Copies of this chain bind each other. A is one copy, B any other.
Amino acid sequence: MKKIKKIAVMTSGGDAPGMNAAIRAVVRSCAYYSLGCVGIYRGYEGLIEDDLVDLNARSVHNIINKGGTILKSARSKGFRTKEGRQKAYENLIEREVDALVVIGGDGSFTGAVLFNEEFGFPVVGIPGTIDNDIFGTSHTLGYDTALNTAVEAIDKIRDTASSHNRLFFVEVMGRDAGFIALNAGVGAGAEEILIPEEDLGLDRMLESLERSRRAGKSSSIVVVAEGDKSGKNVYELASYVEQNLPEYDVRVSILGHMQRGGSPSCFDRVLASRLGVKAVELLLDGKTNLMVGLKDNLVISTDIKVAIAGGHSINHELLRISDIITT
Protein backbone atom coordinates (compact mmCIF):
# COMPACT_ATOMS: atom_id res chain seq x y z
CA MET A 1 0.00 0.00 0.00
CA LYS A 2 1.32 3.39 -0.88
CA LYS A 3 2.28 5.84 1.84
CA ILE A 4 -0.64 7.86 3.11
CA LYS A 5 -0.25 11.61 2.72
CA LYS A 6 -3.82 12.81 2.72
CA ILE A 7 -6.95 11.41 4.33
CA ALA A 8 -10.60 12.19 3.61
CA VAL A 9 -13.29 11.88 6.27
CA MET A 10 -17.08 11.72 5.95
CA THR A 11 -20.17 11.08 8.04
CA SER A 12 -22.78 8.86 6.47
CA GLY A 13 -26.22 7.47 7.31
CA GLY A 14 -28.21 8.62 10.33
CA ASP A 15 -26.38 11.26 12.36
CA ALA A 16 -25.35 10.67 15.96
CA PRO A 17 -23.92 12.76 18.80
CA GLY A 18 -20.15 12.36 18.87
CA MET A 19 -19.70 12.43 15.09
CA ASN A 20 -18.24 15.94 15.34
CA ALA A 21 -15.86 14.81 18.07
CA ALA A 22 -14.75 11.97 15.77
CA ILE A 23 -14.26 14.34 12.83
CA ARG A 24 -12.18 16.57 15.09
CA ALA A 25 -10.04 13.64 16.20
CA VAL A 26 -9.41 12.53 12.61
CA VAL A 27 -8.54 16.06 11.50
CA ARG A 28 -6.29 16.75 14.48
CA SER A 29 -4.55 13.38 14.07
CA CYS A 30 -3.81 14.25 10.45
CA ALA A 31 -2.35 17.57 11.60
CA TYR A 32 -0.34 15.82 14.31
CA TYR A 33 1.14 13.37 11.80
CA SER A 34 1.59 16.09 9.16
CA LEU A 35 -0.97 14.60 6.80
CA GLY A 36 -3.38 16.55 4.66
CA CYS A 37 -7.07 16.23 5.52
CA VAL A 38 -10.19 16.73 3.45
CA GLY A 39 -13.77 16.76 4.68
CA ILE A 40 -16.50 15.31 2.46
CA TYR A 41 -19.94 16.88 2.83
CA ARG A 42 -23.09 14.75 2.82
CA GLY A 43 -21.38 11.37 2.79
CA TYR A 44 -21.04 9.43 -0.46
CA GLU A 45 -23.47 11.80 -2.17
CA GLY A 46 -21.14 14.74 -1.60
CA LEU A 47 -18.16 12.65 -2.60
CA ILE A 48 -19.74 11.95 -5.98
CA GLU A 49 -20.63 15.62 -6.36
CA ASP A 50 -17.11 16.68 -5.33
CA ASP A 51 -18.46 18.58 -2.34
CA LEU A 52 -15.16 18.55 -0.44
CA VAL A 53 -13.33 20.98 1.80
CA ASP A 54 -9.78 21.18 3.13
CA LEU A 55 -9.66 20.88 6.90
CA ASN A 56 -6.91 21.86 9.30
CA ALA A 57 -6.55 21.72 13.06
CA ARG A 58 -8.33 25.07 13.50
CA SER A 59 -11.28 24.06 11.27
CA VAL A 60 -12.55 21.76 13.99
CA HIS A 61 -12.22 24.23 16.85
CA ASN A 62 -15.08 24.12 19.36
CA ILE A 63 -17.04 21.26 17.78
CA ILE A 64 -16.29 18.48 20.28
CA ASN A 65 -19.42 19.41 22.22
CA LYS A 66 -21.76 19.96 19.27
CA GLY A 67 -24.49 17.53 18.22
CA GLY A 68 -25.10 16.67 14.58
CA THR A 69 -22.25 16.67 12.07
CA ILE A 70 -20.56 19.69 10.54
CA LEU A 71 -19.94 17.56 7.44
CA LYS A 72 -23.64 16.76 7.18
CA SER A 73 -24.88 13.34 6.26
CA ALA A 74 -27.08 11.80 3.60
CA ARG A 75 -28.03 8.51 2.09
CA SER A 76 -26.76 8.15 -1.47
CA LYS A 77 -28.44 6.34 -4.35
CA GLY A 78 -25.66 7.33 -6.70
CA PHE A 79 -23.03 5.40 -4.76
CA ARG A 80 -24.96 2.20 -5.36
CA THR A 81 -24.13 2.51 -9.05
CA LYS A 82 -20.77 1.69 -10.60
CA GLU A 83 -20.77 5.14 -12.29
CA GLY A 84 -21.30 6.86 -8.96
CA ARG A 85 -18.43 5.06 -7.31
CA GLN A 86 -16.18 5.70 -10.32
CA LYS A 87 -16.92 9.44 -10.05
CA ALA A 88 -16.25 9.30 -6.31
CA TYR A 89 -12.90 7.63 -6.92
CA GLU A 90 -11.91 10.19 -9.52
CA ASN A 91 -12.75 13.03 -7.16
CA LEU A 92 -10.53 11.56 -4.47
CA ILE A 93 -7.65 10.99 -6.90
CA GLU A 94 -8.04 14.50 -8.28
CA ARG A 95 -7.55 15.82 -4.74
CA GLU A 96 -4.67 13.42 -4.09
CA VAL A 97 -6.50 11.74 -1.26
CA ASP A 98 -4.95 8.42 -0.26
CA ALA A 99 -7.44 6.98 2.21
CA LEU A 100 -10.95 7.35 3.49
CA VAL A 101 -12.41 7.34 7.01
CA VAL A 102 -16.14 6.64 7.07
CA ILE A 103 -18.10 7.48 10.22
CA GLY A 104 -21.46 5.71 10.09
CA GLY A 105 -23.28 2.41 10.36
CA ASP A 106 -23.53 -0.92 8.56
CA GLY A 107 -24.85 0.50 5.31
CA SER A 108 -22.08 3.06 5.13
CA PHE A 109 -19.46 0.37 5.76
CA THR A 110 -20.89 -1.83 3.03
CA GLY A 111 -20.34 1.02 0.59
CA ALA A 112 -16.78 1.41 1.86
CA VAL A 113 -16.00 -2.27 1.37
CA LEU A 114 -17.32 -2.22 -2.18
CA PHE A 115 -15.29 0.89 -2.88
CA ASN A 116 -12.17 -0.78 -1.58
CA GLU A 117 -12.78 -3.91 -3.62
CA GLU A 118 -13.28 -2.00 -6.84
CA PHE A 119 -10.49 0.57 -6.53
CA GLY A 120 -8.17 -0.83 -3.88
CA PHE A 121 -8.76 2.38 -1.96
CA PRO A 122 -7.80 2.19 1.74
CA VAL A 123 -10.79 2.59 4.04
CA VAL A 124 -11.37 2.50 7.80
CA GLY A 125 -14.75 2.70 9.48
CA ILE A 126 -15.77 4.38 12.75
CA PRO A 127 -19.07 3.08 14.14
CA GLY A 128 -21.42 6.04 14.55
CA THR A 129 -25.10 5.40 15.22
CA ILE A 130 -27.31 5.80 18.26
CA ASP A 131 -28.68 2.27 17.78
CA ASN A 132 -25.56 0.41 19.03
CA ASP A 133 -26.35 -2.38 16.59
CA ILE A 134 -22.84 -2.94 15.22
CA PHE A 135 -20.68 -5.98 15.79
CA GLY A 136 -17.10 -5.38 16.86
CA THR A 137 -17.64 -2.62 19.41
CA SER A 138 -19.33 -2.54 22.77
CA HIS A 139 -20.51 1.01 22.11
CA THR A 140 -21.22 2.98 18.96
CA LEU A 141 -20.87 6.77 18.90
CA GLY A 142 -24.01 8.47 20.06
CA TYR A 143 -25.53 5.54 21.88
CA ASP A 144 -24.61 6.71 25.38
CA THR A 145 -25.89 10.22 24.65
CA ALA A 146 -29.14 8.91 23.20
CA LEU A 147 -29.68 6.83 26.35
CA ASN A 148 -29.28 9.92 28.53
CA THR A 149 -31.61 11.92 26.31
CA ALA A 150 -34.24 9.18 26.46
CA VAL A 151 -33.94 8.72 30.21
CA GLU A 152 -34.15 12.45 30.93
CA ALA A 153 -37.29 12.71 28.78
CA ILE A 154 -38.87 9.70 30.50
CA ASP A 155 -38.02 11.21 33.91
CA LYS A 156 -40.08 14.24 32.90
CA ILE A 157 -42.91 12.04 31.67
CA ARG A 158 -42.87 10.15 34.95
CA ASP A 159 -43.38 13.42 36.84
CA THR A 160 -46.69 13.92 35.10
CA ALA A 161 -47.56 10.19 35.07
CA SER A 162 -47.16 10.09 38.86
CA SER A 163 -49.16 13.25 39.38
CA HIS A 164 -52.11 11.85 37.45
CA ASN A 165 -51.79 8.11 38.15
CA ARG A 166 -51.41 7.40 34.46
CA LEU A 167 -49.90 4.67 32.32
CA PHE A 168 -47.58 5.94 29.60
CA PHE A 169 -46.37 4.10 26.54
CA VAL A 170 -43.11 5.76 25.52
CA GLU A 171 -41.65 4.87 22.14
CA VAL A 172 -37.88 5.16 21.75
CA MET A 173 -35.73 4.67 18.66
CA GLY A 174 -34.52 1.24 17.55
CA ARG A 175 -36.21 -0.27 14.51
CA ASP A 176 -34.17 -3.45 14.54
CA ALA A 177 -32.42 -3.35 17.87
CA GLY A 178 -33.66 -3.02 21.42
CA PHE A 179 -30.50 -1.52 22.96
CA ILE A 180 -31.98 1.90 23.59
CA ALA A 181 -35.33 0.57 24.80
CA LEU A 182 -33.74 -1.97 27.11
CA ASN A 183 -31.18 0.30 28.74
CA ALA A 184 -33.31 3.44 28.84
CA GLY A 185 -36.16 1.30 30.16
CA VAL A 186 -34.05 -0.04 33.02
CA GLY A 187 -32.53 3.40 33.61
CA ALA A 188 -35.92 5.08 33.75
CA GLY A 189 -37.42 2.40 35.96
CA ALA A 190 -39.97 1.33 33.33
CA GLU A 191 -42.43 -1.32 34.42
CA GLU A 192 -42.30 -3.09 31.05
CA ILE A 193 -39.91 -2.97 28.10
CA LEU A 194 -40.90 -4.14 24.62
CA ILE A 195 -38.10 -4.80 22.12
CA PRO A 196 -37.69 -6.27 18.64
CA GLU A 197 -35.57 -9.17 19.88
CA GLU A 198 -38.08 -10.70 22.24
CA ASP A 199 -41.81 -11.21 22.19
CA LEU A 200 -42.94 -10.51 25.70
CA GLY A 201 -46.48 -11.41 24.73
CA LEU A 202 -49.33 -9.00 25.14
CA ASP A 203 -51.09 -11.17 27.68
CA ARG A 204 -48.04 -11.25 29.90
CA MET A 205 -47.86 -7.46 29.71
CA LEU A 206 -51.50 -7.16 30.73
CA GLU A 207 -50.95 -9.49 33.65
CA SER A 208 -47.87 -7.61 34.74
CA LEU A 209 -49.59 -4.22 34.59
CA GLU A 210 -52.56 -5.60 36.49
CA ARG A 211 -50.20 -6.98 39.12
CA SER A 212 -48.41 -3.62 39.39
CA ARG A 213 -51.71 -1.87 39.94
CA ARG A 214 -52.74 -4.26 42.66
CA ALA A 215 -49.32 -3.88 44.30
CA GLY A 216 -50.13 -0.22 44.75
CA LYS A 217 -48.20 1.32 41.87
CA SER A 218 -50.14 4.38 40.97
CA SER A 219 -48.42 5.09 37.67
CA SER A 220 -46.49 3.11 35.13
CA ILE A 221 -44.19 3.56 32.18
CA VAL A 222 -43.89 1.05 29.35
CA VAL A 223 -40.91 1.66 27.07
CA VAL A 224 -41.40 0.38 23.53
CA ALA A 225 -38.77 0.16 20.79
CA GLU A 226 -39.95 1.33 17.38
CA GLY A 227 -39.56 -2.16 16.02
CA ASP A 228 -41.28 -3.96 18.90
CA LYS A 229 -41.82 -7.64 18.16
CA SER A 230 -45.57 -7.54 18.78
CA GLY A 231 -45.95 -5.89 15.42
CA LYS A 232 -48.38 -3.38 16.89
CA ASN A 233 -47.33 0.21 16.88
CA VAL A 234 -47.32 2.14 20.11
CA TYR A 235 -50.79 3.63 19.58
CA GLU A 236 -52.29 0.19 18.97
CA LEU A 237 -50.57 -1.13 22.06
CA ALA A 238 -51.98 1.69 24.11
CA SER A 239 -55.52 1.16 22.94
CA TYR A 240 -55.20 -2.60 23.41
CA VAL A 241 -54.32 -1.99 27.05
CA GLU A 242 -57.01 0.64 27.42
CA GLN A 243 -59.63 -1.86 26.26
CA ASN A 244 -58.42 -4.68 28.45
CA LEU A 245 -57.53 -2.68 31.57
CA PRO A 246 -60.13 0.10 31.54
CA GLU A 247 -59.10 1.29 35.01
CA TYR A 248 -55.87 2.63 33.48
CA ASP A 249 -55.70 6.16 32.12
CA VAL A 250 -53.36 5.58 29.16
CA ARG A 251 -51.20 8.07 27.24
CA VAL A 252 -48.63 7.78 24.46
CA SER A 253 -45.40 9.68 23.87
CA ILE A 254 -43.03 9.17 20.95
CA LEU A 255 -39.61 10.60 21.77
CA GLY A 256 -38.59 10.76 18.12
CA HIS A 257 -35.69 12.56 16.50
CA MET A 258 -34.57 14.52 19.54
CA GLN A 259 -32.79 11.26 20.48
CA ARG A 260 -30.41 11.84 17.56
CA GLY A 261 -29.28 15.30 18.65
CA GLY A 262 -27.80 17.12 21.58
CA SER A 263 -24.35 17.71 22.97
CA PRO A 264 -22.54 14.37 23.31
CA SER A 265 -21.93 12.86 26.73
CA CYS A 266 -18.39 12.69 28.08
CA PHE A 267 -18.35 8.99 27.25
CA ASP A 268 -19.17 9.63 23.59
CA ARG A 269 -16.64 12.44 23.31
CA VAL A 270 -13.83 10.34 24.73
CA LEU A 271 -14.83 7.33 22.63
CA ALA A 272 -14.96 9.48 19.48
CA SER A 273 -11.54 10.94 20.27
CA ARG A 274 -9.97 7.54 20.77
CA LEU A 275 -11.56 5.95 17.68
CA GLY A 276 -10.70 8.94 15.47
CA VAL A 277 -7.03 8.82 16.43
CA LYS A 278 -6.91 5.05 15.96
CA ALA A 279 -8.50 5.23 12.51
CA VAL A 280 -5.78 7.57 11.28
CA GLU A 281 -3.00 5.55 12.92
CA LEU A 282 -4.22 2.32 11.33
CA LEU A 283 -4.13 3.91 7.89
CA LEU A 284 -0.66 5.29 8.61
CA ASP A 285 0.40 1.76 9.50
CA GLY A 286 -0.74 0.58 6.09
CA LYS A 287 -3.87 -1.11 7.35
CA THR A 288 -7.21 -1.01 5.54
CA ASN A 289 -10.72 -2.57 5.60
CA LEU A 290 -10.97 -2.32 9.34
CA MET A 291 -13.52 -0.93 11.70
CA VAL A 292 -12.28 0.55 14.97
CA GLY A 293 -14.25 -0.15 18.11
CA LEU A 294 -14.22 -0.53 21.87
CA LYS A 295 -13.95 -3.78 23.79
CA ASP A 296 -13.44 -3.94 27.53
CA ASN A 297 -12.49 -0.24 27.45
CA LEU A 298 -9.69 -0.87 24.97
CA VAL A 299 -9.65 0.35 21.38
CA ILE A 300 -9.59 -2.58 18.99
CA SER A 301 -10.05 -3.08 15.27
CA THR A 302 -12.15 -5.64 13.42
CA ASP A 303 -12.24 -6.70 9.80
CA ILE A 304 -14.93 -4.42 8.44
CA LYS A 305 -16.65 -7.31 6.63
CA VAL A 306 -16.85 -9.20 9.88
CA ALA A 307 -18.32 -6.14 11.53
CA ILE A 308 -20.97 -5.89 8.81
CA ALA A 309 -21.84 -9.57 8.85
CA GLY A 310 -21.81 -9.99 12.62
CA GLY A 311 -24.77 -9.37 14.80
CA HIS A 312 -24.61 -7.41 18.01
CA SER A 313 -27.01 -9.04 20.39
CA ILE A 314 -28.64 -7.35 23.34
CA ASN A 315 -27.93 -8.37 26.90
CA HIS A 316 -30.92 -10.59 27.68
CA GLU A 317 -29.88 -10.57 31.32
CA LEU A 318 -31.17 -6.99 31.46
CA LEU A 319 -34.74 -8.17 30.86
CA ARG A 320 -34.44 -10.30 33.96
CA ILE A 321 -32.93 -7.40 35.92
CA SER A 322 -35.82 -5.25 34.78
CA ASP A 323 -38.35 -7.76 36.08
CA ILE A 324 -36.65 -7.87 39.47
CA ILE A 325 -36.19 -4.16 40.05
CA THR A 326 -39.73 -3.27 39.10
CA THR A 327 -41.12 -5.73 41.58
List residues of chain A with CB under 8 Å of any chain B CB. 11, 15, 17, 19, 24-25, 28-29, 31-32, 42, 57-58, 61-62, 64-69, 72-74, 138, 144, 147-153, 155-165, 168, 183-184, 186-189, 215-218, 251-263, 265-267, 269-270, 273-274, 276-277, 295-297, 299, 315, 317-318, 321, 323-327
A156→B261 contact, CB < 8 A: yes
Given A168-B257, A257-B160: A269 in contact with B31 (beta carbons within 8 A): no
- CB-based nearest B residue for A156: B261
What's the least CB distance linking A70 to chain B, in Å? 9
Given A15-B163, A155-B261, A260-B159: A324 in contact with B187 (beta carbons within 8 A): no
Q: Could you name 5 residue pairs across A and B whose Cβ atoms are closer than 8 Å?
A: A57-B215, A64-B188, A156-B257, A160-B261, A188-B269
What's the least CB distance linking A99 to chain B, in Å? 17
Given A28-B327, A153-B258, A158-B261: A266 in contact with B164 (beta carbons within 8 A): no
A256→B253 contact, CB < 8 A: yes
- CB-based nearest B residue for A166: B257
Given A157-B257, A215-B57: A267 in contact with B267 (beta carbons within 8 A): yes
- CB-based nearest B residue for A297: B138
Contacts of A186 in B (CB 8 A): 269-270, 273
Return the contact of A260 from the options B67, B148, B160, B324 (Cβ within 8 A).
B160
What's the least CB distance linking A155 to chain B, in Å? 5
Contacts of A61 in B (CB 8 A): 217
Contacts of A159 in B (CB 8 A): 15, 17, 66-68, 260-262
B254→A256 contact, CB < 8 A: yes
Shortest Cβ-Cβ A-B pairs, 6 listed? A159-B261, A156-B261, A67-B159, A68-B159, A296-B296, A187-B266
Among A74, A186, A187, A299, residue most surrounded by chain B Cβ atoms (within 10 Å):
A187
Contacts of A297 in B (CB 8 A): 138, 296, 315
What's the least CB distance linking A169 to chain B, in Å? 11
> In the complex, A277 Cα to B218 Cα: how many Å?
24
Given A277-B325, A296-B296: A147 in contact with B267 (beta carbons within 8 A): yes
> In the complex, A263 Cα to B68 Cα: how many Å?
16
A325→B29 contact, CB < 8 A: yes
B150→A266 contact, CB < 8 A: yes
A327→B57 contact, CB < 8 A: yes
New A-B contacts (8) at CB < 8 Å, excluding given A151-B265, A187-B267, A253-B257: A24-B325, A61-B217, A62-B189, A64-B187, A64-B189, A157-B261, A254-B256, A296-B296
Contacts of A276 in B (CB 8 A): 325
Contacts of A215 in B (CB 8 A): 57-58
